[in-house]
């Protein structure tokens, strides 16, 4: 018999009314649950002792609350609604549009559905199996399909009208679950043959913004009101604190509490007259806000594992070495079939397994293509790292990202400002390390590695590496050097 059970309660779109949430939390408190979590798909999670489980189940059934025990057959619908109004995009998408979509999904999805504003980067776009992303045409949405346990994403040929999203999602899910071998053209043909829906041709491509994680914690002003972001370092929220949050929301006529994919909460619409009362709630429960931005940019798996412990250790390493992580987000995967969101991914694996139990764990370090967290292409950076080496290898990867961005910015500035080289200017091709910026110049060679002057880069032996940080030859990038010592990427 299990000692504890894991309970999952979906909050569609990451939206919960304070009254609904308060009823669930009161039932959990009565079952001796003292803390809850919010998962990466914006759902509520709690762990219940087996002796208290029957009482909680009884109360949840009385409240007509759907839940799952130790399973995830029905993934939560996630949306970017949590950032609507807060991180302004100037887009046509508004609160009413989100609610119309969620109301149209009148079934319990068995595949992951994402609903995203194309002008934000706070919530992921393609972590779902059925991904709707807003287009530039008001009330019409791009649709991207990702088969289960796959990193292949393909674009639907139509833009789907807002009020049709529920019907389209339901039929697509049924077909994908019934026949998992369908390719994109076969799936489209079947859906179009069986379902008539309002649409437009998806003639243009989706243009996503560059990733930048906004700071989502603490009290923040917008328009004439304030929003509050709440993050907990251990990812756990005390129920007595959340009950007080629900109470003050009901008292001050705040109708919604939003969960985010970063396992945090956002409360919108706090009026100035109640600001001190909200501060009092935080103080009474000793809730700290304004954590460092690099601590907020991490995702770990929802259920128990050592991901959160590892995250905290790596964050301390970054703080100690004052590492710049702006523009990056990090995910830690400790189980092979779990999914996490991030531009840098740490994947744990066991070198040895006996009886299904892993021993001697190591870590593989990946980054996504162009360090875009919405990319499904993972590029191996380092393999088989022991925990003691993980921090400085992550730091090295951060430096690579920053150097690449610096080179790209330098290239764009030079493209705008530099004149075409004249015949009197000397331009030569050299190769530069993306991590430490060391240059290999064939004119000088590399005496430290017995490479004589005049040796072209292509003539270097395959085992040649950067003379400063030992990066492989294949990682060195071609750049053009002029007499003015300007460097531009060689296209």
Are 22 and 243 in contact by the 8 Å Cβ rule? The answer is yes
pLDDT reading at 397 higher than 90: yes
Task: Look at 75-79, 250-254, 433-437 and tell me which has the smallest mean pLDDT.
Answer: 433-437
Give the span between the Cα atoms of 39 and 442, in whole angstroms. 53
383 by DSSP, 3-state: which?
strand
For 37, other C-beta atoms within 10 Å of its C-beta total 19
Q: Which helix (H) or strand (E) holds 24?
A: helix 18-30
Sequence-ordered alpha helix ranges (H) in 195-274: 239-251
Residue 103 token pair: 């109301």
pLDDT reading at 416 higher than 60: no
Q: What is the pLDDT of residue 414?
A: 52
Note the pLDDT tens digit of each residue in 158-181. Answer: 999 999 999 999 999 999 999 888
> For the residues 238-248, what does the mean pLDDT come to?
98
Are 373 and 299 in contact by the 8 Å Cβ rule? The answer is no
Residue 430 token pair: 């050299």
Q: What are φ and ψ of residue 213, in 5° steps?
A: -80, 115
> For the residues 7-15, what does the mean pLDDT come to?
98
Rounded alpha-carbon distances, angstroms, from residue 59 to 27, 32, 382, 396: 6, 13, 49, 51
Are 79 and 37 in contact by the 8 Å Cβ rule? The answer is no
pTM, to two decimals: 0.85
Residue 55 token pair: 């009482």
Give the pLDDT band of residue 98 (cuts 50, 70, 90). very high
Domain 418-489 fold: Rubrerythrin, domain 2 (2.20.28)
Note the pLDDT tens digit of each residue in 68-81. Answer: 999 999 999 999 99
pLDDT reading at 359 higher than 90: no
Give the span between the Cα atoms of 382 and 375, in whole angstroms. 19
120 by DSSP, 3-state: which?
coil
Strand partners, 354: 357
pLDDT reading at 319 higher than 70: yes
How many residues are given for the chain?
491
Residue spans per domain, the chain: 88-201, 294-399, 418-489
Q: What is the pLDDT of residue 426?
A: 58
Nearest Cα to 66, choosing from 9, 7, 6?
9
- Map 299-324 to HEC letters: ECCCCCCCHHHHHHHHHHHHHHCCCC
pLDDT reading at 314 higher than 60: yes
Mean residue pLDDT across the chain: 90
pLDDT reading at 440 higher than 60: yes
| 294-399 CATH, one of 3.40.50.1820, 3.30.413.10, 3.40.190.10, 3.40.640.10 | 3.30.413.10
pLDDT reading at 271 higher than 90: yes
For residues 360 and 101, which has the higher predicted lDDT (pLDDT)? Answer: 101
Place of tokens 């395959």: 462
């Amino acid at each position: 018999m299990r000692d504890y059970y894991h309970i999952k309660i979906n909050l569609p779109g990451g939206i919960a009314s304070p009254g609904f949430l308060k009823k669930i939390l009161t039932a959990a408190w009565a079952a001796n649950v003292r803390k809850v979590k919010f998962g990466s798909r914006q759902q509520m999670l709690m762990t219940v002792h087996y002796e208290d489980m029957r009482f909680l189940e009884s109360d949840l059934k009385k409240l007509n609350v759907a839940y799952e025990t130790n399973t995830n057959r029905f993934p939560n619908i996630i949306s970017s609604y949590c950032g609507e109004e807060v991180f302004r995009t100037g887009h046509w998408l508004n609160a009413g549009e989100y609610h119309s979509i969620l109301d149209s999904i009148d079934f319990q999805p068995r595949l992951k559905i994402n609903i995203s504003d194309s002008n934000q980067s706070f919530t992921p776009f393609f972590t779902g199996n059925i991904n709707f992303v807003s287009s530039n045409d008001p009330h019409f949405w791009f649709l991207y399909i990702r088969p289960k346990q796959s990193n292949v994403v393909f674009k639907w040929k139509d833009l789907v009208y807002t009020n049709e999203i529920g019907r389209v999602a339901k039929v697509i899910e049924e077909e994908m679950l019934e026949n998992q071998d369908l390719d994109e053209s076969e799936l489209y043909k079947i859906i179009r043959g069986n379902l008539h829906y309002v649409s437009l041709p998806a003639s243009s491509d989706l243009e996503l913004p560059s990733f930048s994680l906004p700071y989502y914690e603490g009290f923040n002003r917008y328009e004439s009101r304030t929003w509050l972001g709440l993050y907990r370092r251990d990812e756990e929220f005390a129920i007595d604190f959340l009950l007080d949050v629900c109470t003050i929301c009901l008292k001050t006529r705040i109708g919604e509490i939003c969960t985010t994919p970063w396992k945090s909460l956002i409360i919108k619409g706090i009026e100035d007259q109640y600001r001190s009362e909200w501060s009092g709630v935080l103080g009474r429960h000793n809730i700290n806000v304004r954590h460092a931005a690099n601590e907020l940019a991490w995702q770990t798996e929802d259920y128990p594992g050592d991901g959160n412990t590892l995250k905290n250790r790596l964050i301390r390493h970054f703080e100690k070495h004052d590492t710049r992580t702006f523009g990056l987000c990090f995910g830690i995967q400790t189980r092979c079939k779990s999914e996490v969101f991030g531009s840098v991914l740490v994947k744990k694996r066991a070198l040895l397994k006996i009886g299904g139990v892993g021993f001697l764990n190591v870590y593989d370090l990946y980054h996504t293509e162009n360090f875009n967290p919405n990319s499904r292409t993972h590029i191996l950076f380092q393999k088989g790292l022991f925990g003691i080496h993980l921090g400085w290898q992550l730091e090295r990867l951060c430096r690579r990202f920053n150097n690449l961005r610096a080179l790209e910015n330098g290239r764009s500035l030079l493209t705008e400002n530099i004149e075409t080289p004249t015949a009197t200017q000397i331009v030569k091709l050299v190769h530069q390390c993306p991590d430490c910026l060391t240059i290999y110049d064939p004119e000088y060679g590399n005496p430290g590695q017995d490479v004589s002057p005049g040796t072209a880069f292509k003539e270097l032996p395959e085992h040649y590496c950067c003379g400063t940080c030992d990066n492989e030859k294949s990682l060195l990038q071609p750049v053009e050097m002029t007499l003015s010592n300007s460097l531009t990427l060689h296209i």
